[in-house]
């Protein structure tokens, strides 16, 4: 093969490779939305009332279902009532309790001295002591919740006439 034929063969192979690469490369055209394709129709059909109001009409059934879900899954932290929470983490000094509020609550492990077997996943009754501390967490009290529940049991026993056994811890001027 002569030098001229070799050059022609090289040119043909490079041209064939260039043709193959251009055939495999496809250029994607940008997608045109309906509003860009036909702006007059889009503006004519646009619901300006909903746009100005900012919301779509809500079905009463959907609203009732939403209210039910919120009531089941949300804990109101404004009133002082005892709520049940779940221990989700235990550190060397604190227990982190989830009460289905915006954030988890913190309780000192000193309040669980009566229960050394406390573990993650246990259900505990707590009272919201401080709604938000400096770190943004709820400060909960298990001790205060136990006191409130104990008084509730004493009041229920009084209402039903049940006899309560106990011991005198101290004597005061007005009673024991």
Rounded Cα gap, residues 61 and 69, in angstroms: 12
Do the Cβ atoms of 136 and 103 come closer than 8 Å?
A: yes
Domains of the chain, first to last = 76-152 (2.40.50.140)
Residue 11 has pLDDT above 60, yes or no: no
Residue 84 is inside which H or E element, if any? Answer: strand 82-90
* Residue 13 or residue 30, greater confidence: 30
Position 155 scores a pLDDT of: 92
Rounded Cα gap, residues 32 and 37, in angstroms: 6
Do the Cβ atoms of 127 and 144 come closer than 8 Å?
A: yes
Position 123 scores a pLDDT of: 93
Residue 143 has pLDDT above 80, yes or no: yes
Rounded Cα gap, residues 176 and 91, in angstroms: 39
Instruction: Please give the average per-residue pLDDT across 117-146, as a whole number.
Output: 85
Rounded Cα gap, residues 77 and 79, in angstroms: 6
Give the range among 4-13, 69-78, 84-93, 139-148 with minimum mean pLDDT.
4-13
Residue 125, classed as helix, strand or coil, is strand
What are the tens digits of pLDDT across the range 36-90? Answer: 677 778 777 777 766 666 666 677 888 888 888 877 776 666 667 788 889 999 9
Position 77 scores a pLDDT of: 62
């Amino acid at each position: 093969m002569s030098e001229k034929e070799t050059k022609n063969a090289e040119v043909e192979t490079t041209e064939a490779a260039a043709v193959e690469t251009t055939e495999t490369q496809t250029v994607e055209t940008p997608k045109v939305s309906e509003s860009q394709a036909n702006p007059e129709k889009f503006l004519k059909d646009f619901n300006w009332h909903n746009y100005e109001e900012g919301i779509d009409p809500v079905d009463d059934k959907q609203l009732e279902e939403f209210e039910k879900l919120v009531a089941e899954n949300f804990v109101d932290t404004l009133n002082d009532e005892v709520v049940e929470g779940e221990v989700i983490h235990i550190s060397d000094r604190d227990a982190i309790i989830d009460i289905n509020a915006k954030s988890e609550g913190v309780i000192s492990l000193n309040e669980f001295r009566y229960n050394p077997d406390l573990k993650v996943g246990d259900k505990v009754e707590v009272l919201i002591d401080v709604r938000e501390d400096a770190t943004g967490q709820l400060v909960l009290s298990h001790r205060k919740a136990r006191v409130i529940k104990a008084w509730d049991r004493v009041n229920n026993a009084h209402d039903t006439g049940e006899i309560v056994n106990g011991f005198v811890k101290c004597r005061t001027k007005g009673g024991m």
